[in-house]
Amino acid sequence: MTTAIIGADGLGRCPWGAGPPDYLAYHDDEWGRPVRDDQGLYERLCLEAFQSGLSWLTILRKREGFRAAFRGFDPEKVAAFGPADVERLLADASIVRNRAKIEAAIGNARAALDLPGGLAATAWRHADPGAPAPADTADVPAYTDGSKALAKELKRHGFRFVGPTTAYALMQACGLVDDHLTGCHRRGAHA
């Protein structure tokens, strides 16, 4: 059983958020806060896809490199990337250099621009703000019916690297669900 833990500052946190300073800042200042704009959702979707198989800490520490390499995650700018940009990105040590993920990020920018209603509206249709508060990390699912439906909808519109688990991580990061544990000082703080 892994419940919220009390940090040196006296605040309860999800166990992962009480780790290295990068995690603490991400947990306290960003994770679970509602993101309602297409560019913000696109950035989080890209980062979640790049994280697949890696530590989230690696992604957090490379985040500024990703932002520079992907032009601030502006979908219009990324959608215009061509083969020379793929090669540029594969040579950029400030990001995760994985051809399939890079090409998916570019393709996903194009898909996001073509998505009826936009990426944020699509994602928020699958929000579950009333999900029960998890008391323990074991209560936090890897995916839900909502994330399966979101992944299916995105894939239908041409998105790649968006399975149910990645879609659920996106939902958690962007406040579509509140998976801060009971006892965490951020639980319910982002509504």
Could you tell me how many residues make up the chain?
Answer: 191
Of 16, 23, 42, 48, which is the active-site residue? Answer: 48
Query: Active-site residue 56, yes or no?
Result: yes
Query: Active-site residue 26, yes or no?
Result: yes
> Are 61 and 74 spatial neighbours (Cβ–Cβ below 8 Å)?
no
Query: Active-site residue 48, yes or no?
Result: yes
Of 56, 103, 143, 153, which is the active-site residue? Answer: 56
Question: Where on the phi/psi map is residue 79: left (φ > 0), alpha (ψ -120 to 50), or beta?
Answer: alpha
Query: Cβ neighbours of residue 147 under 8 Å, at least 6 residues apart?
Result: 126, 164, 165, 167, 168, 171
Of 26, 31, 42, 124, which is the active-site residue? Answer: 26
Do strands 5-6 and 12-13 pair parallel, antiparallel, or not at all (unpaired)?
antiparallel
Counting Cα atoms < 13 Å in the Cβ hemisphere of 154 gives: 34
Catalytic residues, by residue number, are 26, 48, 56
